[in-house]
Homo-oligomer: A and B are copies of this chain.
Amino acid sequence: MLDRSTIIGFVSGFTLILLAIVLQGNLMIFASMSSFLIVAGGVLAATLVNYSYENIKYSFKVISKMMGAKSVDLRTDMELMRMFAKKVRTDGILTLDDEIGSIENDFLQNAIQLAVDGYNKESLGNILDDEIQSQKRQLSISVKVLDSMSEYAPAFGMIGTLIGMILMLQNIDDPKSLGAGLAVALITTLYGTILSNMILGPLAGKLEYLSKLDLNRKEMFRVGVLSMVEEENPRIMENKMLIYLEPKKRAEYKKYHEKLAYGTDRVDRLYQKWPTYQTEEWEKLNENLELETG
Contact = CB atoms under 8 A, between A and B. Distances in A.
Interface string A163-196: 1111101111001101110110011011001101
Nearest to A11: B45
Q: Which 8 A-B pairs have the closest CB atoms?
A: A13-B45, A9-B48, A49-B202, A50-B205, A9-B49, A169-B183, A155-B197, A50-B202
A34 to B, nearest CB: 6
Interface string A52-74: 11010000000000000000000
Chain A contact surface mostly: helix
Contact of A206 (B44, B49, B131): B49
Given A45-B9, A148-B205, A179 B170 contact: yes
Interface centre among A4, A164, A167 (most CB of B within 10 A): A167
Interface of A: 3-6, 8-10, 12-13, 16-17, 19-21, 23-26, 29-30, 34, 37-38, 41-42, 44-53, 55, 130-131, 134, 138, 148, 152, 155-156, 158-160, 162-167, 169-172, 175-176, 178-180, 182-183, 186-187, 189-190, 193-194, 196-199, 201-203, 205-206, 209, 246-247
B51 A206 contact: yes
Contacts of A49: 5-6, 9-10, 13, 198-199, 202-203, 205-206
A175 B169 CA distance: 10
A247 B38 CA distance: 37
Contacts of A199: 49
Interface centre among A38, A131, A160 (most CB of B within 10 A): A38
A243 to B, nearest CB: 9
21 contacts: A6-B48, A9-B45, A12-B44, A16-B42, A19-B34, A19-B37, A20-B34, A26-B170, A29-B170, A46-B198, A50-B201, A51-B205, A130-B247, A152-B201, A158-B193, A159-B193, A159-B198, A163-B190, A165-B183, A170-B179, A172-B179
Nearest to A245: B134
Nearest to A160: B20
A289 to B, nearest CB: 26
